[in-house]
Amino acid sequence: MQSTPEVSLIMPVYNQASFIRSSIRSLLNQTFHDWELIIINDGSTDGLKSCIQDFIDSDPRIHYLENPRNEGLGHSINRGLDTAKGEFIAYLPADDLIDPDHLELLLDTIKSAEASLAYSGLRYKKDDISGEGDYMTVMDEVDDHWLQLVQVMHRRTTDRWMERSEGVTDDLGVMFWNRFTEGNPGVVTTRRATCEWVSHLYQRHRIMNDRASGGIYMYKTYYGVSCPVRYKSHQGSLLDEVNHYAPFRAPQKQDGLKILIVGELSYNPERLYSLEKRGHKLYGLWINNPLCWNPTGNLAFGNITNIPFENWEEEVRRIKPDIIYAQLNYTAIDLAHHVMKKNTGIPVVWHFKEGPFYARNLGTWEKLMTLYREADGAIYINDVAREWYHQFMPAPNAHEFVMDGDLPPAEWFKESHSPRLSEQDGEMHTLVAGRLLGITAHDIEQMARHRIHFHIYGDVFQHQARNTIDEAIALAPDYVHLHPSCPAEEWTREFSQYDAAWLHWHRSRNGGDLSRAAWQDFNSPARLSTYAIAGLPMIMADNTGHRVHYQEYLQRLGMALPIMSFSDLARKWHDKPLMESQRDNAWRNRHEFCFDSWIDRLEDFFRTVIDNKTK
């Protein structure tokens, strides 16, 4: 029986059976031998235990614990800490490696300095998951990150890691290091790189990266998280699902249609709760690789029943949905096409919003057009988009409908609005919520010359346009204002203080011929509804003579500010009757951009498609 070890290594692991043996072998090769390894299997589904059973059976220093379901990094480490017997704690993620002298060097360093925490340097391959790049070596933290688990040893204390119930973040400093080092001073470094932080697609920080291909929906899908969370990656804004979706959870009567949602939900996913309020029972069959703007299963709102892809046909036969509602962006095309081609006998409605040119470039164009032609019903995001798609069809779908795909629900349409900033300083204040599409630093400088302020919302979008923003601040420091992301429940109050808002700054070249149209010509930007909620007129480049959906649409509603130049915008701003009329129209017509305002028409369309299928 092993005596009390000097070092306890914690190994939290989820679905890394293909890595773990190499990691354990690097531990067995250590020059220091007085250790114990505590493996915490955090609900893995990849046969992890059978992969390492021989290690468990042959070495009494290796202990194995198992969570019945995934509980998260913090919970698993804390379980390991509660079990640990060593005076010193080290970490060995199942996908990382340590050099033979790693533990010995860390232990000698922390003891000789009488420190609370010691860390080594590490090797990694920056932005390289092909295996062909050169190693980077750092002696401290990896750029834009924090100390990694594999490089740290610290004294055992009563300190514990932040768990999922408290919040979810990829920032290990927030999770533990900051609190530990504040309460236990004395941090030293070995000044040698003795471990490897192994790069691969499913590293936790990649899964959670809002600025790449990850984010909250990838995180919840990958780890099977079904509960609402308070989520904050180190690069994104706080997403408080617990409070944000509180109005969207009450069970509803279920005396309407059974609707199977297939795909992903894009922006404003809580709109589906409005269907539940109408008595419809919802099920979900989701894509398995959601990007940061692709809400999928394990939703924090509503009462949607998820259907696993592995046996979805069997489940569909069991639940007998009345209709399949497939949506919404290019990432859903493959799954929607797969489901439609199975010919389940259930009518399929295809609702597509963004990405026909992505579909062309990614090789799913034919599937997209097949969905539009062969689905029992087709929904287009606007009339111009429908005209564009009809160019590629021998005949339109027999059942068509026009409706934007990601409209927000009625709950976000607050009635009270704020005093305008311009009433205080007599200068125009404009808003952009989202990417600075087409707007340059010199454009912002030109606005400033006309005393037009430019307010930019959103941490992620500000990061994407960092160089442009920095240049604009240098050119017009008093007219560029940065704000964090604004949650939907605050859109009316926050955004109504501005005079107008920027749509995409796009100069069309189609000359009225849709065969020459670009995506921006027939897009319905998500920010349309965001601005409309606050009753804002919307600024755009004047594309008169070209076919551009949002200009045509907003001009019909009296909410458009098409401009030829920034001096033209200043002139319109000083035309007080024009601006007052635009604001009045925007406030009066804002419910045109509310999902609930379209439900009667959507239900009628569903029932028409169902009736036609059963004839």
| Mean pLDDT confidence for 181-185 | 95
Phi-psi group of 428: left, alpha or beta (phi > 0 → left; psi -120 to 50 → alpha; rest → beta): beta
By the 8 A CB rule, do 5 and 39 touch?
no
Q: Is the pLDDT of residue 527 over 50?
A: yes
By the 8 A CB rule, do 479 and 452 touch?
yes
Q: Is the pLDDT of residue 213 over 80?
A: no
**Tokens 């692709």 appear where?**
294
As a whole number of angstroms, the distance between CA 273 and CA 123 comes to 47
Q: Is the pLDDT of residue 159 over 80?
A: yes
**Tokens 């092993």 appear where?**
2
As a whole number of angstroms, the distance between CA 320 and CA 122 comes to 55
State pLDDT tens for residues 393-404: 999 999 999 999
By the 8 A CB rule, do 93 and 12 touch?
yes
Tokens for 419? Answer: 């005093």
Tokens for 215? Answer: 């984010």
By the 8 A CB rule, do 382 and 522 touch?
yes
Residue 218: closest CA among 295, 166, 163, 283? 295
Quote the longest CA-to-CA distance of the chain: 88
**Interacting residues of 254 by C-beta distance below 8 A, sequence separation 6+:** 279, 280, 281
Q: Is the pLDDT of residue 1 over 80?
A: no
| Mean pLDDT confidence for 260-271 | 97
**Tokens 């940061």 appear where?**
292
Q: Is the pLDDT of residue 214 over 50?
A: yes
Residue 526: closest CA among 488, 580, 564? 488
| Mean pLDDT confidence for 274-292 | 94
State pLDDT tens for residues 417-462: 899 999 999 999 999 998 898 999 999 999 999 999 999 998 888 8
Q: For position 127, what pLDDT does the model report?
A: 63
Percent of the chain with pLDDT over 70: 99
Least confident of 155-159, 230-234, 322-326, 536-540: 230-234
Phi-psi group of 17: left, alpha or beta (phi > 0 → left; psi -120 to 50 → alpha; rest → beta): alpha
Tokens for 563? Answer: 């401009």
State pLDDT tens for residues 6-47: 999 999 999 999 999 999 999 999 999 999 999 999 999 999
Residue 262: closest CA among 281, 282, 284? 284
Q: CA of 370: how far to CAs of 22, 220, 380, 411, 522, in Å? A: 46, 31, 14, 36, 20
pLDDT band for position 90 (cuts 50, 70, 90): very high
By the 8 A CB rule, do 460 and 236 touch?
yes
| Mean pLDDT confidence for 316-334 | 97
Mean pLDDT, all residues of the chain: 95
Residue 451: closest CA among 576, 578, 581, 574? 574
By the 8 A CB rule, do 104 and 30 touch?
yes
As a whole number of angstroms, the distance between CA 288 and CA 218 comes to 8
Q: Is the pLDDT of residue 60 over 90?
A: yes
Range 149-164 burial, b when 16+ CB lie within 10 A, else e: bbbbbbbeeebebbbb
**Tokens 């069309």 appear where?**
508
